[in-house]
């Protein structure tokens, strides 16, 4: 199983809503990532979890709150978002973050629209 | 931190021609260089990668070359086909510090039948 599964695929939310994005992998990977991708732009790193601990927060606004309940799951909690937060949110996982780098597998993404 | 620059931003070739995309990176500690292909509305998918102890790697019609001294690496696609049309991203990961993918800005490849 080389799949990273994200739910939901599409999400429309109002600026006062609270919602969560979910990501799951069963490859035994110990590093998990959230990326944000705007149209015609590369993925932009938001958060990295390594062995279920937050290791990188790329100065993301607090209206985005990540959570890693266990080694297979990664959530992104959303609250009081702005229309400019509309984007494709990609989850990825890799074996670990040790020296040398390893292949990162991406989920299909959640297309988020904030209205 | 790492900065990856990618050129060209768009590339149009005739079917059967070759395509070359070039990237440069800034962090000399970077040792892993993957290339991702992203079709419209889909996830980025790894197509080939190279590590700093290797100068060239080939997989069928796709090859990647790395010049660590000059800090640049390139993707070569030969005998292009319409299904190669997509956005291609190069990336780099350093061995120290911020060990996560930093992407180039992307190249939109259009293969004309």
- What are the tens digits of pLDDT across the range B13-69? 999 999 999 999 999 889 899 999 999 989 999 999 998 888 999 999 999 999 999
d(CA B94, CA B4): 12
Contact criterion met (CB < 8 Å) for A33 and B105: no
Residues A88-94, mean pLDDT to the nearest whole number? 96
The token duo for A109 is: 């993404």
Cα torsion angle, A79, A113, B88, B38, sign: positive
Contact criterion met (CB < 8 Å) for A42 and B100: no
d(CA A91, CA A11): 15
d(CA A16, CA B31): 43
Residues of B in contact with A100 (CB under 8 A): 31-32, 51, 95
Give Cβ neighbours of residue B97 (< 8 Å, ≥ 6 apart): B1, B27, B29
Whether B96 has a pLDDT exceeding 80, the answer reads no
d(CA A82, CA B86): 30
The C-alpha of B5 sits at a distance from chain A's nearest C-alpha, in angstroms, of 11
User: How many A×B Cβ pairs under 8 Å?
Assistant: 55
Query: SS3 for B101?
Result: coil
């Amino acid at each position: 199983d080389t799949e990273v599964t994200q739910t939901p695929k599409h999400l429309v939310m109002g600026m006062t809503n609270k919602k969560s994005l979910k990501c799951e992998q069963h490859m035994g990977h110990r590093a998990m990532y959230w990326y944000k991708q705007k149209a015609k732009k590369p993925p932009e790193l938001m958060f990295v979890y390594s062995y279920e601990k937050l290791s990188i927060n790329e100065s993301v606004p607090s209206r985005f709150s990540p959570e890693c309940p266990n080694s297979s799951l990664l959530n992104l909690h959303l609250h009081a978002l702005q229309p400019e937060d509309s984007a494709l949110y990609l989850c990825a996982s890799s074996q670990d973050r040790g020296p040398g780098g390893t292949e990162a597998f991406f989920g299909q993404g959640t297309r988020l629209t904030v209205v | 931190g790492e900065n990856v620059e990618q050129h060209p931003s768009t590339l149009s070739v005739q079917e059967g021609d070759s395509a070359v995309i070039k990237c440069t990176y800034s962090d000399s500690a970077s040792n892993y260089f993957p290339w991702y292909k992203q079709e419209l509305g889909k996830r980025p998918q790894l197509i080939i990668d190279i590590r700093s102890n290797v100068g060239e790697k080939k997989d069928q019609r796709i090859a990647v070359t790395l010049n660590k001294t000059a800090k640049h690496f390139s993707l070569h696609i030969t005998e292009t086909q319409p299904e190669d049309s997509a956005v291609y991203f190069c990336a780099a990961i350093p061995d120290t510090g911020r060990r996560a993918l930093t992407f180039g800005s992307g190249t939109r490849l259009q293969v004309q039948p």
